[in-house]
Amino acid sequence: MAEKKTKKETASKKKETPKAAVSAKTEKAPAVKAPATEQKKARVGVFICHCGTNIAGSVDIPDVQEYAKSLPNVAFADNYQYMCSTPGQSKIIAAIKENDLTGIVVAACSPRLHEPTFRTATKEGGLNPFRFEMANIREQGSWVHMHDREGATDKAKDAIRIAVAKASLLQDLVPKTVPVEHAAMVVGAGIAGMQAALDLANAGIKTYLIEKNPTIGGRMSQLDKTFPTLDCSQCILTPKMVDVGRAENIDLMTCAEVENVEGYIGNFDVTIRRKARGVLTPAEAEAKGIVGGGCNGCGDCEAVCPVIKPNPFEMGMKPRKAIYIYHPQVVPLIYTIDWDSCIKCGLCVEVCGEKKAIDLEMKDELVKVKVGTAILATGYDLFPIEKKEEWGYKKYENVVTSLEFERLICASGPTGGHLVRPSDGVTPKKVAFLLCAGSRDNTGVGKPYCSRFCCMYSLKHAHQIIEKIPGVQPYIFYMDIRSFGKMYEEFYYRIQDEGAKFMRGRVANVLEDPDTKNLLINAEDTLLNRPIKLEVDMVVLAAAVEPAAETDRTRKLFGVSRSMDGWLLEAHPKLNPCGTTTAGVFLAGVCQGPKDIPDTVASAEGAASAASIPIHKGEVELEPYFAQCIEEKCAGCGMCVNLCPYQALSLVEKEGRTVMQVTEAKCKGCGTCGGFCPGGAIWMQHFATPQIIAQIDAFLIGGAK
């Protein structure tokens, strides 16, 4: 039953498609006359790539070529060492002209790699580029059946047969060109987001910089010094923060989150939630008619606020008020109210006086902006290292994380830069640094990856205490020191020379002496082959990092995938580390994977450059994989309308009938509608039902064997 029905459909659709195709054409596409090529008998050319020995090593190329020649509709077959090379492409161009081909099949690597290359070649040969189909015989052939020549060869033959079946039915398609909004968005204003926004702004692009916290600066602003140069982190960061605050092209929104994203590359409609910070900026005040008002950062409000809470910027080790700034160098210098702890006593409003900066009734606002491209720079959090219970974090007071250490050693931190033990305020004389705390951990509790910057900052920590505390002894418990960057190994040399003791062994557990609050470390000196117990005053855990908590929500809004470990997935790990599979969305900094500051800045500049290209080009081509309605068949049932996730389909009256209509600009070509049209009335361009059925038939009943 099913089969018959499908067959009939296939037949009838074939007749109708030219009409559908014509109606789908826009005025922009006069060059190719679809019906003319449609009616011609299919003449397909097959080209088989050796890819050096990558394919030829596991696939019998001559055999496959002979087989390809025997297939119906195949007018020409050839092979070449490297089809993607210029001579390889020339073969395609020449063959189209010489053999009057209507479709091209290249059996080589993945279409995700070289489809664009061969489409261009097809076009240069005088055919519509969408008359090209690729057979993947490398990634899904020779490489996964390396030692099964017969199996790989058979699979290659089938793959070509399936591709030829589709190529025989392919149509001319014309990509749509859309204009690109001359604006960009950067989500996250840590060092990555700031750098990307500055680059975009300097390239003349209006840039919206969205930050969830009340200030920009991110993790880097929490650090004391940076390795290996020992630059003061704040000193090199604050100029950038000021630049961001001042840049004309940057529209900085702090206390803001992305609420919703619609559209596609060139035309993203982004809704931003500007959370009520309870305090007006001077500009906002002016807009409200308060002349010379708004927050000037004087801090009078903070002085009178009666509520005391831990400051998250100081890792909770310093108090702040319910109306607060994180630290003196914040950008923008505007106070923020923590609604969870504010008791609305109104003292701040009173003291603020004529500036009228404080509004205790402020509500969240939703702002809509349109951007052409977007960069995600959402950064990282520390892995909750208390989950690795053996090291006693949160159980023993003198076990701290590296980020807490940064605040404790920082001159602007809670202790004014004097490193002290949280338990008794005494300066520690023996400090142990535990590396790979939760990193390189396959137990399912920690993280399987290397967090990449812990080795180096722990070396820096050791240096800092040697510098500040006379007679201190740092112990670094490590498995491997990974000092791979420029001047990093030299830094390692320096710290060893300064007297840090390197203990090659992972710490099994930490115990506390309840009386002295000293810590007893159990480890093995694996180089001496000897278990060691070491009593220290303080333990610093170089905790693993993980994607920031909001990353998952944000990435889903932008349609970005994540890899198995949670970091956002780049389009290609080697060759497109800033891009994503969603056109127009790019990644910067640690959200893509652990990076130190130089790598983060480099990746941010890369992302900014990539994100500016479509904007400067002014227009982008969208793949023409739209749904089309075959109106003769459409019963107007409307089932597809609800299936479409993009509201691209609607029912309209036409010649007295209700039929479905596609808004092409909204359609992204997923085909969900076409997958369930009961009447088979939806024509998915390039993935049309007859084309797919032909592939199925070719695979299962088209075999010559």
Partner 1 sequence: MADEWKPQIMGIICNWCSYAGADLAGSARTQYPPDIRIIRVMCTGRVDPLFILKAFTDGADGVLVSGCHFGDCHYLEGNYKGAKRMFMVKSLLKNIGLEDKRLRMTFVSASEGAKWAKVVEDVVKTVTDLGPNPLKELAP
Partner 2 sequence: MREYAFFLGCIAPNRYPGAESASYKTAEKLGIKLLDLEGASCCPAPGAFGSISLEIWYAMAARNLCLAEQMKKDIALICNGCYKSIWEVNHKLKQHKELKEKVNEVLKTIDMEFKGTIDVWHLAELFYDPEIVGVQKIRDSVKVSLEGTRIAVHYGCHLMKPRKERHFGTTEHPTWLEEMVGALGAEPVEYRNKMLCCGAGGGVRGYDLVHSLDITNEKMINLKEARVDALTEVCPFCQLQFDRGQIEIEEKFGVKYNLPVLHYCELLGLAQGMSPQELALDLHGISCEPFLQKVL
Partner 3 sequence: MPRTKGYPEALEKKLADTRLYEDERHPEFTKTVEKLSMSIPHMCYQCGTCTASCPSAPRSSYRIRKFVRRALLGLEDEALTDPDLWLCTTCYSCTDRCPRDIAPTDVIMAMRNLAFKRDIIPVNFLKTVQAIYTTGHGVPNNDVNRAARKKLGMNPEPPTTHAFPQYVKGIQKIIDYYELKKNADRIVKEREG
Q: How many angstroms separate the CA atoms of 404 and 406, rounded?
A: 5
Q: How many angstroms separate the CA atoms of 81 and 71, rounded?
A: 22
User: Which residues from 668-687 bind partner 1, rule CB under 8 A?
Assistant: 668-672, 674-676, 684, 687
Does 576 sit near partner 1 (CB under 8 A)?
no
Could you tell me whether strands 380-382 and 545-547 are parallel, antiparallel, or unpaired per DSSP bridges?
Answer: antiparallel
Residue 479 binds which one of partner 3, partner 2, partner 1, none, with CB within 5 to 8 A depending on kind? partner 3
Q: How many angstroms separate the CA atoms of 615 and 185, rounded?
A: 12
Cis ω for the linkage preceding 474 (within 30 of 0): no
Does 395 sit near partner 3 (CB under 8 A)?
no
Is residue 308 helix, strand or coil?
Answer: strand
Q: By C-alpha distance, which of 590, 500, 494 is closest to 540? A: 500
Residue 115 binds which one of partner 3, partner 1, partner 2, none, with CB within 5 to 8 A depending on kind? none
Does 392 sit near partner 3 (CB under 8 A)?
no
The CB-of-398 to partner 3 minimum distance in angstroms stands at 20
Exactly one of 98, 148, 365, 389 binds partner 2 (CB under 8 A); which one?
389
Residue 380: φ, ψ to 5° = -140, 165
Exactly one of 93, 304, 511, 569 binds partner 1 (CB under 8 A); which one?
569
Does 450 sit near partner 1 (CB under 8 A)?
no
Q: How many angstroms separate the CA atoms of 172 and 169, rounded?
A: 10
The CB-of-391 to partner 2 minimum distance in angstroms stands at 9
> Could you tell me which stretch among 388-396, 406-414, 551-559, 689-697 binds partner 2 (CB under 8 A)?
388-396
Helix (H), strand (E) counts: the chain: 18, 32
Answer for the pair 474, 486: CB distance below 8 angstroms, yes or no: no
Residue 395 binds which one of partner 1, partner 2, partner 3, none, with CB within 5 to 8 A depending on kind? partner 2
Answer for the pair 45, 89: CB distance below 8 angstroms, yes or no: no
> Could you tell me which stretch among 148-156, 216-224, 420-428, 489-497 binds partner 1 (CB under 8 A)?
148-156
Exactly one of 505, 606, 614, 680 binds partner 3 (CB under 8 A); which one?
505
User: Which residues from 106-135 bind partner 1, rule CB under 8 A?
Assistant: 110-113
Retrieve residue 191's tokens. Answer: 């060092």
Exactly one of 136, 233, 554, 600 binds partner 1 (CB under 8 A); which one?
136
The CB-of-559 to partner 1 minimum distance in angstroms stands at 6
The CB-of-526 to partner 3 minimum distance in angstroms stands at 4
Q: Which residue has tokens 């305090």? A: 279
Does 593 sit near partner 1 (CB under 8 A)?
no
Exactly one of 276, 342, 345, 479 binds partner 3 (CB under 8 A); which one?
479
Q: How many angstroms separate the CA atoms of 153 and 156, rounded?
A: 5
| CA distances for 596 relative to 225, 400, 574, 611, 690, angstroms | 13, 21, 18, 22, 52
Q: Which is nearer to partner 2, 246 or 395 (CB)?
A: 395
SS3 per residue for 403-467 = HHHHHHHCCCCCCCCCCCCCCCCCCCCEEEEEEEECCCCCCCCCCCCCCCCHHHHHHHHHHHHHH
Q: By C-alpha distance, which of 273, 244, 254, 243 is closest to 369? A: 273
Residue 580: φ, ψ to 5° = -130, 175
Does 145 sit near partner 1 (CB under 8 A)?
yes
**Angular region, 475: left φ>0, alpha ψ -120 to 50, beta rest:** beta
Retrieve residue 223's tokens. Answer: 């650090």
The CB-of-507 to partner 3 minimum distance in angstroms stands at 7
The CB-of-6 to partner 1 minimum distance in angstroms stands at 5
Q: Which residue has tokens 């640690």? A: 590
The CB-of-390 to partner 3 minimum distance in angstroms stands at 6
Q: How many binding residues for partner 1 (CB under 8 A)?
A: 58
Q: Which is nearer to partner 2, 186 or 523 (CB)?
A: 523
Does 513 sit near partner 2 (CB under 8 A)?
yes
Q: Which is nearer to partner 1, 117 or 234 (CB)?
A: 117
Q: Which is nearer to partner 2, 508 or 528 (CB)?
A: 508
User: Which residues from 520-539 bind partner 3, rule CB under 8 A?
Assistant: 522-526, 529, 531-533
Answer for the pair 216, 194: CB distance below 8 angstroms, yes or no: yes
The CB-of-450 to partner 1 minimum distance in angstroms stands at 17
> Could you tell me which stretch among 263-271, 386-394, 398-406, 666-674 binds partner 2 (CB under 8 A)?
386-394
Q: How many binding residues for partner 2 (CB under 8 A)?
A: 9
Q: Which residue has tokens 């059996």? A: 107
Answer for the pair 46, 74: CB distance below 8 angstroms, yes or no: yes
Q: Which is nearer to partner 2, 389 or 467 (CB)?
A: 389
| CA distances for 484 relative to 288, 451, 481, 620, angstroms | 54, 13, 9, 39
What is the number of other CB atoms lying within 10 angstroms of the CB of residue 106? 34
The CB-of-173 to partner 1 minimum distance in angstroms stands at 14
Residue 255 binds which one of partner 2, partner 1, partner 3, none, with CB within 5 to 8 A depending on kind? none
Q: Which is nearer to partner 2, 388 or 452 (CB)?
A: 388
Retrieve residue 133's tokens. Answer: 């189909």
Q: By C-alpha distance, which of 499, 423, 491 is closest to 456? A: 491
**Which positions touch partner 2 (CB under 8 A)?**
389-390, 392, 395, 443, 509, 511, 513-514
**Which positions touch partner 1 (CB under 8 A)?**
2-3, 5-6, 110-113, 136, 138-141, 143-148, 151-152, 154-155, 158-159, 162, 556, 559, 561-564, 569, 581-582, 625, 643, 645-646, 668-672, 674-676, 684, 687, 689, 692-693, 695-697, 699-701
